[in-house]
Amino acid sequence: QVQLVESGGGLVQPGGPLRLSCTASGFTFSAYAMSWYRQAPGKERELVATITSFNRDTNYARSVMGRFTISRDNAKNTVYLQMNSLKPEDTAVYYCKRISGGFWGQGTQVTVSS
């Protein structure tokens, strides 16, 4: 069965970097587009970034463009979200999602605070 497991969250100071990982199993990872979402307390879940399967084309929410980078390593069945120049408003639970089928991971907490 499809399984997505996020890791790498934690407490970071404003301006700092953090890298999230999402390891997939139960399907042919290289064939699927993947995405990262986030949800802050009291807010709706929002799309952060996507990456396609073959060309690895990416797109980002305007709020993170230029600061976040989504990438994938098909040999490791892993999607990454490199977050730089973090702001307090980036604080949220971050979720990995397989776009086709709408499969979600359990989420990982990112807290940006001094």
- Under DSSP, the state recorded for 100 is T
User: CA dist 12 to 9, 66, 67, Å?
Assistant: 9, 19, 15
For 30, other C-beta atoms within 10 Å of its C-beta total 12
Mean pLDDT score of the chain: 97
Contacts of 69 (CB under 8 A, 6+ apart): 49, 58, 80, 81, 82, 84
Model confidence pLDDT, tens digit, residues 54-101: 999 999 999 999 999 999 999 999 999 999 999 999 999 999 999 999
Instruction: Tokens for 18, please give them.
Output: 């953090």
